[in-house]
Amino acid sequence: MQTYQIEIETIEPSYQMISVTLLQALLWVITEGSKGALRLCTEGRSTVRGAPPQWIKHATNFSIAFKDKKLYIQSPTLYEVAPELFNQEEFAELNSERTSLDYFQDSLATAVLSSQFSQQEMEESYMLDSLYDKALLEVFYGFHRVFHQGAKSIRFLNGNGIQMTPDSISTFRKLKSVVPYPCQIKIIGILDSIRNYDRTFNLTTNARMLRGVSKNMLSKETQDLVGKEVLISGTAYFTSTGKALRIEADKISVPEGNERILWEKLPLPAIS
């Protein structure tokens, strides 16, 4: 277990109580944001229709206390909630000693501080804008309800030490507005790995690793294609700078004839 402190500055600084609706709004952002950050790391998407995996529910089962205008949140490490998954190295992209709140703060800090990075830095670093997607930005935008309920600032005292103010909300709105629309694509690459647990896969194309998720259960024939060249047909989703964030595959097949030439380039975002 790890304990985190969140300092809540209210409009009435001398008042020692806290609004229930303010606390509800804040906890909603933290809980849903933590779920989304974990899913984004493992699946390339922060939300999907239906309930999240059970291990993510356990990873966001927080305990809280409030004292001296500080919210104390106790969170289990990922290994504590799902040792069987991490013993089997199901999620190599996650550090099992960290918590869902660590990943939440990574995503939140990257989004809040995005305006401090140059366009070139954002384009050259895949990680800078792959830690949030449009759906997760929508969750972060929920901070506006926290400020409407009387908060003046929210400071995360652990981790990145990020501070949220009403001005931060405009950053989320701007980032959401520049995320390109998804588009239908076909792409050739080497199918590096498949994870049946959540139907995700990794595809290498032009020396670049792309994350994908299959819309259907992966068949034995598809699993036999690991390490081989494949043609992915589906929908590409993008980051705020137009880089491919993930591919949601309708079909994974063996390319034929001139398909190797036609679909060898990375997908480009549709112009909004």
Task: Give me the count of residues in the chain.
Answer: 272
pLDDT of residue 128: 65
Q: What is the pLDDT of residue 272?
A: 42
pTM: 0.87
Contact 172, 240 (CB under 8 A): no
Place of tokens 């705020």: 240
Question: Which residue, chain included where needed, has tokens 């032009």?
Answer: 206
Amino acid identity for residue 107 in this structure: S
pLDDT for the residue 256 = 84
Q: Quick one: how far is CA 136 from the chain centroid?
A: 6
Numbered ranges of CATH 2.40.50.110 in the chain: 183-262
State the Cα–Cα distance between residues 5 and 162, nearest whole angstrom. 12
Chain-centre distance for alpha carbon 76 = 19
Q: 140-178: b or e for each residue (b if 16 or more CB lie within 10 Å)?
A: bbbbbbbbebebebbebeebeebebeeebbebbeebbee
Q: What is the pLDDT of residue 199?
A: 87
Please tell me whether residue 155 adopts helix, strand or coil conformation. strand
CA dihedral 267, 268, 270, 271 (to 10 degrees): 180
- Name the β-bridge partners of 42: none
Kindly give the pairing relationship between strand 244-253 and strand 208-214: parallel
**Strand pairing report for 208-214 and 200-205:** antiparallel
Q: What angle do CA 91, 97, 99 make, to 5 degrees?
A: 85
What string of pLDDT tens digits covers the 272 residues of the chain? 999 999 999 887 666 678 899 999 999 999 999 999 999 998 889 988 878 889 999 999 999 999 888 999 999 999 999 998 888 777 888 999 999 999 999 999 999 887 666 555 555 555 667 899 999 999 999 999 999 998 999 999 987 789 999 999 999 999 899 888 999 988 888 999 888 878 889 998 876 788 899 988 778 888 888 999 999 999 999 988 888 889 999 999 888 877 766 776 666 665 44
Whole-number pLDDT of residue 95: 93
> Do residues 137 and 175 lie in contact, with contact meaning Cβ atoms separated by under 8 Å?
yes
Architecture of domain 183-262 in CATH?
Beta Barrel (2.40)
Q: Does an H or E element contain 83, and which? A: helix 83-87
Count of CB atoms situated within 10 Å of the CB of 134: 22
The span from the CA of 116 to the CA of 112, in Å, is 9
Per-state percent for the chain, helix, strand, coil, to nearest 5: 35, 30, 35
